[in-house]
Amino acid sequence: MIESFLSGVNLFNTLVGGLLIGTSATLLLLFNGRIAGISGIAFGLFNQSINDKLWRWLFLLGLIVGAASLHFFSDIAIPSASQASKSVIIIGGFLVGFGTYLGSGCTSGHGVCGISRFSNRSITSTILFVLFGILSMTFFRHVLGLI
């Protein structure tokens, strides 16, 4: 039971990775007073009335630099690209953008930061996107065989 629960899980990598993400969110809130929610940071760039755009660009650039550095300085291999077709990628991307904008957050803002603040909205959002992610995965993979 425990072995099957842990199959495919690298305990050290996942826990250190999570700790790094938590540290990142701590740093951004402690120094800059901002929530490390990726969709909020990115989509704030669309907002004409927001004039603090530079830090948002720098954070997103940091995400890319961080991921690149990890594979450069460790022996963790770059993951293979998604097997999804072009149309599935376009639909998936569109829904993720639309849903996280409408729902004011994603896995980082609601899932990590919001839950840590005991936000009702974030807890509700996280339960819903995980639940519907599982339902949708089950339907599209095991019923329709599309993904």
Partner 1 sequence: MKNIIAILSGILFGLGLAASGMTDTAKVQGFLDVFGVWDASLVFVLFAAVGTTFFSFRVLLKRKAPILDEKFVLPLKTTIDKPLIIGAIIFGIGWSLVGYCPGPAFAALAYFQWQSLLFVAAMLIGAYTAKKFA
Within 52-111, the residues that bind partner 1 by CB under 8 A are 54-56, 58-71, 74, 76, 78-84, 86, 88-104, 106-108, 110-111
CA angle, residues 27, 28, 34, in degrees to nearest 5: 150
Nearer to partner 1, 24 or 51 (CB): 24
Using the rule CB under 8 A, which residue among 7, 51, 75, 145 binds partner 1?
7
Q: Is 17 in the site for partner 1 (CB under 8 A)?
A: yes
Q: Would you say 51 or 88 has its CB closer to partner 1?
A: 88
CB of 34 to partner 1, least distance (A): 6
Instruction: Tell me, residue by residue from 22 to 51, as one string, x for binding to partner 1 by CB under 8 A and - for no binding.
Output: xxxxxxxxxxxxxxx-xx--xx--x-----
Closest distance of CB 3 from partner 1, Å: 12
- Angle formed at CA 113 by CA 112 and CA 117, multiple of 5 degrees: 120
Q: HSE (CB half, 13 Å, CA atoms) of 20?
A: 10
Residue closest to 58 by CA, chosen among 70, 47, 44, 71: 44
DSSP characters over 37-97: -HHHHHHGGG-TT---HHHHHHHHHHHHHHHHHHHHHSSPPPPPPP---HHHHHHHHHHHH
51 or 110: CB nearest partner 1: 110
Q: How far is the CB of 51 from partner 1 (least distance, A)?
A: 14
Rank residues 51 and 120 by Cβ distance to partner 1 and give the closer one: 120
